[in-house]
Structure 1
Amino acid sequence: RFRATELVRRDVLVVSTGCGSAACGTAGFLIPEMALDTAGPGLREVCEAIGIPPILHLGACVDNSRILTIVSAMAQEGGLSDEIGGMPAVGIAPEWMSEKALAIGCYFAASGVPVIFGGESPVGASKQVTHLMTEVWLERFRGALHFEPDPEKILELALTYIDGAREDLNLRKYEPGKFGGERVLMDMAARRGIEKAAKPHIGIY
């Protein structure tokens, strides 16, 4: 909860899957109203404008490829880059529990997204492997694998990656009122009303 609270407070939109989503839901982060109480001013403006919570649930832990789809959209639709590497995005697995998480982290890193695992490194005894997963991968793919047991250092490293990527992309800092228009915070009932009023998909003939 500490990491989620601090990231949201510092204007970072969080997307989560699996057990992490369950914890975020229990803490109340998956409802739009939570943005009013927890989000930083920039993130709150976005959440209010389009009626989303500060943390978005994307499915089970095996659905993490959806996160890469979002990062791809950031690069392409935002006109920021022609690749995922270098986007202001970081993967965090604070309490990973199986080798499956390591496999997911590896394909994130290979795709260009740095990943931080909580806890001690299972390969920490090898300086060569650690160097390969951090510095070499970061240079070649713009992604890396880190292991860090300290929650505050995880947060610090994640924000360092995000802020560094934003600076490299020349993204402007948040300016109050610059991007927001008329904002309506929609609750779940209001969104269901819109969905109900929408015309059903009739297929292609």
Structure 2
Amino acid sequence: NIGGLSDDIGGLPACGCAPEWMSEKAIAIGQYFVASGAPVLFGVGFPVTGSGMSNLLFKEYCDEYNACWAVEPDPIKQAEILVKWIDAARERLGIKERPPRVLYDMAMRRELKF
């Protein structure tokens, strides 16, 4: 879209995070995020870790949905991963660096075209 950030949710600088296990619903909501294209970080042991589903959830979904699950129990590393994901998406969109702020005087305002 003209002026938009992305064609789909997966292109936005956003991600999901469930640092603590609250209920099974957290997995369902997280899977909705992943299927929509937003990566999700889970803070405690994932229920299918070590099973045949692990490769699908943690690697193959990245190819299909451009998003997948990650598990990291350390809160500091969680924050680093989330910031890395958001920064990477901002880089892809070309919005990582903020443009310089300009204080417009009246003459500059009159020249603006909308």
- SS of residue matched to 1:89: coil
Structure 1 residues 99 and 78, CA gap change in structure 2 (3 angstroms): farther
Map of 1:147 onto structure 2: 71
Share of identical aligned residues, percent? 47
Map of 1:99 onto structure 2: 24
1:105 corresponds to which letter in structure 2? G
- SS of residue matched to 2:85: helix
Alignment match of 1:165 (pick from 84, 89, 92): 89
Map of 2:36 onto structure 1: 111
TM-score, structure 1 normalization:
0.46
TM-score, structure 2 normalization:
0.79
Give the alignment of 1:33-44 within 5 angstroms. none
Map of 1:130 onto structure 2: 54
Structure 1 residue 113: Cα displacement:
0.6
Structure 1 residue 96: Cα displacement:
2.6
Instruction: List structure 1 runs of 4+ shifted beyond 3 angstroms.
Output: none
How many residue pairs were aligned? 104
Structure 1: stretches of 5+ with no match in the other structure: 1-75, 182-205
- SS of residue matched to 2:9: coil
Query: 1:101-139: per-residue Cα shift (whole Å, max 9, x none)?
Result: 11000011100111111111221122x422211221111
Structure 1 residue 175: Cα displacement:
4.3
Structure 1 residue 177: Cα displacement:
2.7
Map of 1:87 onto structure 2: 12
Structure 1 residue 86: Cα displacement:
2.1
2:40 corresponds to which letter in structure 1? V
The structure that is helix-richer by fraction is 1
* Whole-angstrom distance in 2 between the partners of 1:79 and 1:94: 30
Give the alignment of 1:7-86 within 5 angstroms. 78-86=3-11
